[in-house]
Each structure stands twice: as structure tokens, then as C-alpha cells.
Structure 1
């Protein structure tokens, strides 16, 4: 199981990179910030590659906030362990 801070760091870095924004807030919504389905696929692939476990893709479509994505990744990591 990865440390929660490491998961958050990776998700935030990939979020900011794909959305081309230096700023982030936990209540930011992926699609409201200009994200689209192709960017979502790239974001998920990058997060999965860096964290080493399957990312809950639907997390981007249910709430779609940065905070909800981080929490979904933490849950996926716990399940994978």
C-alpha cells in the first residue's frame, strides 16, 4: 500500500499536467476545467502507470473533482493491496 501523500502527489501532478494548470483545489471538476474524454483516458493511463494499480476510471465521471479522484485512488490502492 502506498502512502496517502504519494497518491495525492501523483494525482495532483498528473491533474495539473493534463489540464495545463499550475493551480489546483480539491473541489475543482475535471470537465469544468476543460477536460474531455481523450484527456481523461490519458490522465487515467498516466496515474495507473505511476501508481502501479488500476485507477477507478468512473471516478472522473461520477463527481469528477480532484478530491473525489484522490479518494478513489486511495480506495483502489487499499483494494489492490
Structure 2
């Protein structure tokens, strides 16, 4: 993997929401995200990390920290 999962998720999250995020406790939906934006975020992260984005995490625990950890886990499972 040429890009760090944490950096990619933070960058795409901030871009999708139009905010600078500073805390792993920031919640996607509390910051103005919706289900369509979650799908867009998933697509963008998938393209950059070459993983299947764990979109269920967005709805179970929509915090930045949870999404980053889920993506890092998916990268590790894929040997990236």
C-alpha cells in the first residue's frame, strides 16, 4: 500500500464533510454527514486504499477513530 490508511481516511473524511477534523471522537453524522455522503466517502477510500470499505462501521459507530481502525484492519487482512 502506497498510502497510510489513517491519513487517507482523515483526508477523505475532511474533504467529504468540508471540515477539518481533529479528534478521533468526531462523529460523521453529527458533523453533517448522511448516508449518501457515507457511500461517497466509502468509494473514495476504496479507490485510494484498494480495499472494500467497511461501510457498516459508519452506521454502527460513525466516529473517525472507528472508521480509521476498521480500514487499517481491512488493509492488514488484505496484506497491504
Q: Same fold (TM over 0.5)?
A: yes
Match of 1:75 in 2: 73
Deviation at 1:46, TM superposition (A): 0.1
Deviation at 1:37, TM superposition (A): 0.6
Equivalent position SS for 1:72: helix
> Is the Cα contact below 8 Å between 2:10 and 2:21 reproduced in 1?
no
Equivalent position SS for 2:27: coil
> Is the Cα contact below 8 Å between 1:54 and 1:76 reproduced in 2?
yes
> Is the Cα contact below 8 Å between 1:12 and 1:24 reproduced in 2?
no
Equivalent position SS for 1:24: coil
* RMSD of Structure 2 on Structure 1 (CA): 1.5
Which stretches in structure 2 are left out of the alignment for 5+ residues?
none
Aligned residues: 79
Alignment deviations for residues 24-75 of structure 1 (CA, whole Å, 9 cap, x no partner): 3100000010000110000000000000111111110111100000000011
Which stretches in structure 1 are left out of the alignment for 5+ residues?
none
Deviation at 1:80, TM superposition (A): 1.4
Residue 41 of structure 1: which of 14, 39, 42 is its match? Answer: 39
Match of 1:26 in 2: 24
Residue 5 of structure 2: which of 4, 7, 21 is its match? Answer: 7
